């Protein structure tokens, strides 16, 4: 009977060694055949037998066991009706909400402010303006607004004027919702540089980018109804689904 645990351990070690060898074979084959894939971060099997996920940063590819074929696209679980590629990218790009540098944002509170979302926005972003107008319809919310000037040469200037305004919230909403530019102002804008560094680190490449309390990241403008849905999901996860 004592042999059973030993056999189980041996089988486990053999399987692990086989998986490592398989991963090494795929890495070697792809690096030789596709020079752009010489720095692969991770290789792992997918739920589909014989298909492997190849990850480079947050970019996902799929290949066979020998690295003979590469697929760039989405893997769908038809039975479960889930986009496995989308689910995986969501996990890879999630940001720990507690790690956000909130001191470099200003806060907009509506109603009781119990629900929370962080948003990275550029004052020159047309989609952000549409998003901000929709967001006026979402109540009981705290928004941590990170100015993220990446779109135009004068984005930094407009962000500075808003950040340095005596009332940042009014200056922001005047600019984004009422098309009223903020008056020229100056102050320490190192927070804006830190926002840019944070964005580069976490590969925030467009605005608006939303980060919910459960770490879920949503790139692009979404409507009030979708915001409500995401807030409810984040709240449900925070309470253990109760």
Average pLDDT of the segment spanning 36-48:
93
Q: Could you report the per-residue pLDDT of 148-185, keeping only the tens digit for each? A: 999 998 999 999 999 999 999 999 999 999 999 999 99
Query: CB–CB of 177/149 below 8 Å?
Result: no
pLDDT tens across 212-231, in order? 999 999 999 999 999 999 99
User: Is 128 strand, coil or helix?
Assistant: helix
Is the confidence at residue 35, as pLDDT, over 80?
yes
Query: Can you tell me the distance from the alpha carbon of 28 to that of 57, in angstroms, rounded to the nearest whole number?
Result: 18
Tens digit of pLDDT for each residue in 1-13? 555 665 555 455 5
Q: What is the DSSP string of 160-219?
A: HHHHTSSSHHHHHHHHHHS--PPPP-----HHHHHHHHHHHHTT--SSSEEEETTS-EEE
Mean of pLDDT over the chain: 90
Calpha distance 21→65 (Å, rounded): 11
What tokens appear for 35 in the block? 């020079």
* The overall pTM is greater than 0.85: no
Check residue 103 and report its DSSP letter: G
Share of the chain above pLDDT 70, in %: 90
The Cα–Cα gap between 56 and 27 comes to 11
């Amino acid at each position: 009977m004592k042999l059973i645990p030993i056999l189980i351990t041996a089988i486990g070690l053999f399987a692990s060694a086989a998986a490592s060898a398989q991963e090494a074979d795929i890495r070697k084959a792809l690096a030789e055949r596709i020079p752009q894939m010489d720095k692969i971060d991770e290789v792992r099997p997918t739920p589909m037998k014989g298909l492997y996920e190849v990850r480079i940063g947050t970019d996902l590819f799929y290949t066979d066991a020998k690295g003979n074929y590469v697929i760039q696209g989405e893997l769908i679980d038809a039975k479960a009706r889930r986009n496995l590629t989308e689910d995986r990218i969501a996990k890879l790009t999630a940001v720990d909400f507690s790690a956000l540098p909130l001191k470099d944002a200003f806060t907009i509170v509506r109603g009781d402010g119990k629900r929370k979302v962080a948003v990275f926005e550029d004052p020159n972003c047309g989609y952000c303006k549409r998003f901000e107008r929709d967001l006026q319809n979402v109540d009981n919310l705290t928004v941590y607004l990170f100015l993220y000037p990446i779109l135009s040469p004068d984005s930094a200037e407009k962000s500075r004027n808003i950040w340095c305004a005596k009332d940042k919230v009014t200056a922001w909403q005047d600019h984004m919702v009422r098309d009223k530019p903020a008056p020229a102002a100056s102050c320490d804008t190192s927070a804006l540089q830190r926002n840019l560094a944070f964005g580069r680190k976490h590969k925030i490449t467009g605005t608006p980018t939303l980060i919910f309390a459960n770490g879920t990241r949503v790139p692009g403008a979404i409507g009030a109804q979708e915001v409500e849905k995401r807030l409810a999901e984040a709240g449900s996860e925070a309470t253990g689904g109760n």
